[in-house]
């Protein structure tokens, strides 16, 4: 099932998700639906709050479906190490049509549980490092725009409010 993506303005995006505690068939179905929804929206990462489910669960595939082995499920992720810096344009499926350059760590180690509840650690660089940080932020109720300057963020919010008023959001 493809879920619609929740957009900025919905409070579920700014609230920390609840820990995942049941690693059952329902979770497996949700994870499959999240991959399907992410691919349909042409994203490389999707967090459960973005489909209106306030849980600490995210899926990532930085190969955009090219490599099935690149699919990652992060339940209850924690960032345990970061190093270096990269500056790239960043966007979010919940804030469509907007992108801003953002400096993030270039190498990131995450600790998380997989779909079966097994803990693992994984190090990502460049886009994968950015995805780890961006998706973990989502699960803490934080959007990438919180890392922008207040000036840029306010400008973006003003444009979004205008779109909302026009019924285009």
Task: Confirm or reject binding of residue 46 to Ni ion (CB under 5 A).
Answer: no
Nearest position to Ni ion, beta carbon: 92
- For residues 90 to 109, the per-residue mask of contacts with Ni ion, x marking binding by CB under 5 A and - elsewhere, is --x-----------------
Question: Which residues lie below 8 Å from residue 103, measured CB to CB, with a gap of 6+?
Answer: 85, 86, 87
User: Under rule CB under 5 A, how many of the chain's residues touch Ni ion?
Assistant: 1
Region for residue 65 given its phi and psi (left: phi exceeds 0; alpha: psi -120 to 50; beta: otherwise)? left
Q: How far is the CB of 135 from Ni ion (least distance, A)?
A: 7
Q: Which residues are known to be catalytic? A: 135
Question: Judged by CB, which is closer to Ni ion: 92, or 115?
Answer: 92
Question: Please, are residues 38 and 127 in contact by the beta-carbon 8 Å criterion?
Answer: no
133 binding Ni ion? (CB under 5 A): no
Q: Nearest distance from residue 74's CB to Ni ion, in Å?
A: 13
The CA distance from 28 to 34, in Å, is 10
Distances (CA, A) of 55 to 4, 71, 76, 110, 157: 17, 19, 8, 17, 25
Give the residue with the Cβ less far from Ni ion, 27 or 92: 92
Nearer CB in complex with Ni ion: 23/35: 35
User: Residue 160 Cβ, how far from Ni ion at the closest point, in Å?
Assistant: 14
What is the C-alpha separation between 116 and 103, in angstroms, rounded? Answer: 33
Q: Does 131 bind Ni ion (CB under 5 A)?
A: no
Is the Cβ of residue 115 or residue 135 nearer to Ni ion in the bound state?
Answer: 135
Helices (H), 16-149: 25-40, 127-139
Q: Which residues bind Ni ion (CB under 5 A)?
A: 92
């Amino acid at each position: 099932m493809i879920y619609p993506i929740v957009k900025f303005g919905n409070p579920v995006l700014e609230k920390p998700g609840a820990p995942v505690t049941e690693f059952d068939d329902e979770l497996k179905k949700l994870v499959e639906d999240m991959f399907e929804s992410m691919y349909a929206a042409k994203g490389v990462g999707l967090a459960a709050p973005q489909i209106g489910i306030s849980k600490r669960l995210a899926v990532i595939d930085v190969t955009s479906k090219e490599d099935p082995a690149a699919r990652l499920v992060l339940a209850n992720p924690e960032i345990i190490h970061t190093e270096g810096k990269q500056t790239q344009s960043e966007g979010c499926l919940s804030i469509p049509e907007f992108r801003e350059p953002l400096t993030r760590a270039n190498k990131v180690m995450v600790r998380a549980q997989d779909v079966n509840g097994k803990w693992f650690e994984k190090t990502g660089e460049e886009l994968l490092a950015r995805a780890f940080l961006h998706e973990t932020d989502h699960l803490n109720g934080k959007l990438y725009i919180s890392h922008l300057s207040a000036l840029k963020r306010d400008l973006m919010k003003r444009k979004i409010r205008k779109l909302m008023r026009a019924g285009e959001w």
